[in-house]
Amino acid sequence: MKLALAQIAVEGGDVAANVDRATDAIESAAARGADLVALPEIFNVGYFAFETYQRNAESLTGPTLTRISDLADEHDIAVLAGSIVEDLSLTDGETPAEEGLSNTSVFFDRDGRRQAVYRKHHLFGYESAEAELLVPGESLGIAEFEGVTVGMTTCYDLRFPELYRDLAEEGATLLLVPSAWPYPRVEHWNVLAQARAIENQCFLAAINGSGSYEDATLIGRSTVYDPWGTLLASTGDDPELVVRDIDPTRVEQVREEFPAWHDRRR
């Protein structure tokens, strides 16, 4: 599988420009032969533009996700649109609450069909308004894509290993983490992502944005780890498209070679 991470520049509140950059990244990933491309957290609104969440919130069939769906179909590429601010009152079914806003990722297959929806479980409250503005999700995000079970999480979720163990126990072997991770917590980003890959013996790809908004600057550093915890790809803090081949059979090879996964006792 050829996996692409779209570390795009995200301007707070400028939805049109951000979606245009996401479009360019998807088209570039498809041109480079990627099977799956993943976008950062709240890539259309900008994570730290909290004051714009309400007016820019959309449904699962709103303009941003409709455009992403159309691009997936047009370019024959799966897309993890991770994530947007979803207005739950506009979305029928699959909702954890009748109203409120959610940090929502959607997985589209090559035909632009919605395969899975994930609403961020762990809402960030430290120097952030996310926990005040949004409603947490309750369900696991799992998508089946061409023989690979993909587990969906978001940013702050990285600090909660039990979520990743739940996904791995459900069969996920590729864990995707759209993020808006800021300075100064670079060491946490590196260590937590690698640890989630090692302890679950899965591939893990963390997709961050690039850019600044008021006092927050994203660290970039989108990364891919293999099931042994080996770093396969990484970026700096500038916008970049990372394309990397991953071998799904590597998961079982590592688990057979070093059987920590099979030696678990509950």
Output phi, psi for 166, to 5 deg. Answer: -60, -45
**Residue in the block written with tokens 């004051």:** 51
**Residue in the block written with tokens 């120097």:** 127
Q: Outline where DSSP puts E strands in 212-262.
A: 212-213, 216-217, 223-225, 231-234, 240-245
- Please determine, for residue 3, whether its predicted confidence score (pLDDT) is greater than 80: yes
Banded model confidence at residue 67, pLDDT cuts 50, 70, 90? very high
**In this predicted structure, what is the pLDDT of residue 93?**
57
- Please determine, for residue 156, whether its predicted confidence score (pLDDT) is greater than 80: yes
**In this predicted structure, what is the pLDDT of residue 214?**
84
Select 2-257's CATH number: 3.60.110.10, 1.10.3720.10, 3.40.50.2300, 3.30.2130.10.
Answer: 3.60.110.10
The DSSP bridge partners found for residue 212 are 217
pLDDT digits (tens, 9 = 90+) for 229-240: 999 999 999 999
Banded model confidence at residue 97, pLDDT cuts 50, 70, 90? low
**In this predicted structure, what is the pLDDT of residue 98?**
60
Dmax (CA) for the chain in angstroms is 51
CA distances in angstroms from 255 to 57, 217, 249, 261, 264, listed in the order given:
42, 37, 10, 6, 12
pLDDT digits (tens, 9 = 90+) for 17-30: 999 999 999 999 99
pLDDT digits (tens, 9 = 90+) for 174-183: 999 999 999 9
**In this predicted structure, what is the pLDDT of residue 266?**
78
- Please determine, for residue 70, whether its predicted confidence score (pLDDT) is greater than 90: yes
Average pLDDT, the chain: 95
Residue among 209, 229, 230 nearest 221 (CA): 209
Output the six-digit token pair for 63: 């303009």
CB 85 within 8 Å of CB 103: yes
Banded model confidence at residue 211, pLDDT cuts 50, 70, 90? very high
As a whole number of angstroms, the distance between CA 177 and CA 198 comes to 15
pLDDT digits (tens, 9 = 90+) for 34-48: 999 999 999 999 999
- Please determine, for residue 32, whether its predicted confidence score (pLDDT) is greater than 60: yes
